[in-house]
Amino acid sequence: MYTIIKQLEISSAHRLSLSYSSKCENLHGHNWIITVHCRSNELNTDGMVIDFSHIKQIVKDKLDHQTLNDVLPFNPTAENIARWICDQLQPSCYKVEVKESDGNTAIYEKD
């Protein structure tokens, strides 16, 4: 089994739609640290699990310096963002960690 891990930092803003009153309903920003985990039993024809630049293109080019509510079709919680990233990087991605601030990390891991 081959495993690769790519860590990226993006700066983005979001506002959450919540069922309770919270200051997170207001537009605010984070310097997100995103860690993508991919694996495969076999390497592709280029000798890779997935190209690191492909991960960067999917994640950073889509989400960096954006208002996430404008580019994602769901409530942009850290949990939802982690799952979306994992879904974009199929079939090799199995786990994504999204850290929105010190002490606040959401992890999505496929079964």
User: Are residues 89 and 49 in contact, defined by beta-carbon separation less than 8 angstroms?
Assistant: no
Task: Report pLDDT for 76.
Answer: 98
Strands (E), the chain: 2-14, 28-40, 93-101, 104-109
For residue 67, give every residue at least 6 positions away whose Cβ sits within 8 Å of its Cβ, in sequence order, or none.
Answer: 12, 13, 14, 27
Q: Is the pLDDT of residue 95 over 90?
A: yes
**Rounded mean pLDDT of the chain?**
96
Average pLDDT over residues 7-32: 96
CA pseudo-torsion sign 99, 12, 49, 53: negative
Q: Is the pLDDT of residue 111 over 90?
A: no
Coil, strand or helix at 35: strand
For the entire predicted model, the pTM comes to 0.94
Coil, strand or helix at 27: coil
Model pLDDT for residues 38-86, shown as the tens digit of each residue: 999 999 999 999 999 999 999 999 999 999 999 999 999 999 999 999 9
